[in-house]
Amino acid sequence: MPKRMLQGVVVGDKQDKTVIVRVERRFTHPVMKKTVRRSKKYHAHDEANLYAVGDTVWIEEHRPISKLKRWSVVQGEKRAK
């Protein structure tokens, strides 16, 4: 079975080798028929501490690394200064 990949924005990088990524999904509300945005935060493993707050990253499912980390950063792009 292929591993899931999600795209999100780094919202926290205070921990060592860990980033917190906010992934946003959009869907149409079944009753109101409006587009609704929902977001969820994931702890992801960032081995080299490359990414900082504001960077866009792709994360991939991974075996459990710690209590909260089940994702790892695959690739990303730095936010323009």
pLDDT digits 0-9 by tens, 30-76: 999 999 999 999 999 999 999 999 999 999 999 999 999 999 999 99
Dist CA 3 CA 39 (whole Å):
20
CA atoms within 13 A on the CB side of 20: 9
Which among 26, 45, 46 has a CA at the least distance from the CA of 36? 26
pLDDT at 28 over 80: yes
Note the pLDDT of residue 71. Answer: 98
* Domains (range + CATH), the chain: 5-77 (2.40.50.140)
pLDDT at 25 over 80: yes
Least confident of 4-8, 37-41, 58-62, 77-81: 77-81
